[in-house]
A and B are shown apart, each in its own frame.
Chain A
Amino acid sequence: MVASIFPLQMKEASVKRRGVRLIGPIDLDLGAEGLTIILGPNGSGKTSLLRLMHGLERPATGSVSWATTQSEVRMHQAYVFQTPTMMRRSVTDCIAYALTVMGVPRAEARLAAVDYAKRVSLGHLLDHPAGVLSGGEKQKLALARALIRQPQILFLDEPCANLDGRATKDIEAILNDVRAQGTRIVMATHDLGQARRLADDLLFMLNGHVHEHGKADAFFANPDTPEAKAFLDGQIVE
């Protein structure tokens, strides 16, 4: 039985770069279930918050803590970047890589990779170089590479940015499956429609701060702040 890494607790956490505060201070608790959408305009700090949660950024002030040790946490989380990194390998080897670095034998990892590639509808591209895939296929590959590690929490940074409707629908279907299997998902987007379709709860970011945090239904029905209301109304919020 794998120990749960939850809850995630952030206390007065902030990210600074070259002395300039990008986000924070932020206080936040995340439990083990559901799909949280981080919503907000460009430059509001969505990506920085995701990177801080995942450990790609260190808090300049405050703390980010999980229920278990940092090395344990790293093993049980995965991140899908907005622009997925395609390694100079085949689709199968790209996905298998996420397992081989965990010590899984290569043959075993490749078998699992084939299975995960099929789950994300890449079964016909197994031996193709990852670099020649389309944008939607690259995102699916990145998802398969993240999911093959069977993470307890999956971070996604605008996974459907620049994708057409069909590719977006495919990705959302995969995410719904993953959520149904009990994986915690935290996803950044500025797509209101996608947030409405997927979110269980919602973080509204503005100028590096969590402006609102609550259930998605309540947020969309009756936002607390005028900025959130303006954002939902399609106005430009700064």
Chain B
Amino acid sequence: MNDLTQGLAEAVYRVVTLDPELVEITLRSLQVTVTAVVIAAAIALPLGAWLAVTRFWARRYVIAVLNALMGLPPVVVGLIVYIMLSRSGPFGVLGLLFTPTAMIIAQVIIVTPLIASVAHQALRDLWSEYHDLLISLNTTKRQRIATLLWDGRRALLTACLAGFGRAIGEVGAIMIVGGNIDNATRVLTTAIALETGKGNFSLALGLGFVLIMLAIILNLVIHSLSRTERSNLW
């Protein structure tokens, strides 16, 4: 209990004083996570919509695999990305290991199936509602996908926020491919892991509270900007 109150006090102190280390780590966390979610959304949302409007023999299996990949173990993803980006790996020449770019790659791999799967479930329902109308209006597949993405944008926002939540709290993969290097690849979650390892629980908790607040504030801002609860019939 003492650790908790100390952690909360530590968090408040560091936020109020705009502790440079905290600001740097927080900004890096946001940079890595937001970039990863944007890239993952650019892949996953059209994929989810395409799966909703397209019928092919392996569709059911693709959806099952996608759902299974939602639970992809981050440590395994980190390990695979590490091997691919290490000196002896196929992409070693790019020199990306232990950089924020490597962390973004790992997060994109982790988050894409989650966003695609949630998006597919939301758009599948919308497609069953729109099916006859869009067929009747003689729309092309591209138009159908674009229509579902636009009209389902609020549900898709939730899918992206779920992806953001998974990515910002991720530690296993980015620890492996980022290395938790001070001033280079240290983010909130890896910093928490480090401070916990050092027995510095109050600082670790302080960073944890900042992480939670960050996730809540970003969700609130996005929901507020997109008026999710105000015009739900749109």
Q: Chain A interface (Cβ within 8 Å of chain B)?
A: 54, 56, 71, 74-75, 78-79, 81, 85, 87-90, 97-98, 101, 129, 131-132, 149
Contact = CB atoms under 8 A, between A and B. Distances in A.
B132 A81 contact: yes
Interface residues of B, number: 17
Interface string B105-144: 0000000000000000000000001101101111110010
Contacts of A149: 137
9 tightest A-B CB contacts, nearest first: A131-B233, A74-B138, A85-B133, A88-B151, A79-B136, A129-B233, A88-B234, A129-B234, A101-B139
B151 A87 contact: yes
A74 B234 CA distance: 28
Nearest to A51: B132
Contacts of B138: 71, 74-75, 101
Contacts of A97: 137, 147
Contacts of A90: 234
B135 A101 contact: no
Given A90-B234, A101-B139, 18 more contacts: A54-B136, A56-B135, A74-B138, A78-B136, A85-B129, A85-B132, A87-B130, A87-B133, A87-B151, A88-B152, A88-B233, A89-B151, A89-B234, A101-B137, A101-B143, A129-B234, A131-B233, A131-B234
B88 interface: no
Nearest to B151: A88
A56 B234 contact: no
Contacts of B133: 81, 85, 87
B54 interface: no
B137 to A, nearest CB: 6
B132 A132 contact: no
Interface of B: 129-130, 132-133, 135-140, 143, 147, 151-152, 231, 233-234
A200 B24 CA distance: 77
A75 B143 CA distance: 15
Contacts of B136: 54, 56, 78-79, 81
A52 to B, nearest CB: 13
A87 B147 CA distance: 9
A98 B137 contact: yes
A131 B135 CA distance: 20
A81 to B, nearest CB: 6
Contact of B132 (A56, A98, A129): A56
Contacts of B234: 88-90, 129, 131
Contacts of B132: 56, 79, 81, 85
Interface centre among A85, A88, A131 (most CB of B within 10 A): A88
Nearest to B155: A88
A212 B96 CA distance: 76
Contacts of A89: 151, 234
Nearest to A128: B233
Nearest to B129: A85
A106 B16 CA distance: 49
A104 B137 CA distance: 14
Contacts of B147: 87, 97
25 contacts: A54-B136, A56-B135, A71-B138, A75-B138, A79-B132, A81-B133, A85-B130, A85-B132, A85-B133, A87-B130, A87-B133, A87-B151, A88-B152, A88-B233, A89-B151, A97-B137, A101-B138, A101-B139, A101-B140, A101-B143, A129-B233, A129-B234, A131-B233, A132-B233, A149-B137
B51 to A, nearest CB: 20
Contacts of A71: 138
Contacts of B143: 101
A173 B140 CA distance: 33
Contacts of B137: 97-98, 101, 149
Nearest to A70: B138
Contacts of A85: 129-130, 132-133
Contacts of B135: 56
Contacts of B139: 101
A226 B156 CA distance: 56
A30 B114 CA distance: 51
Nearest to B136: A79
A75 B140 CA distance: 12
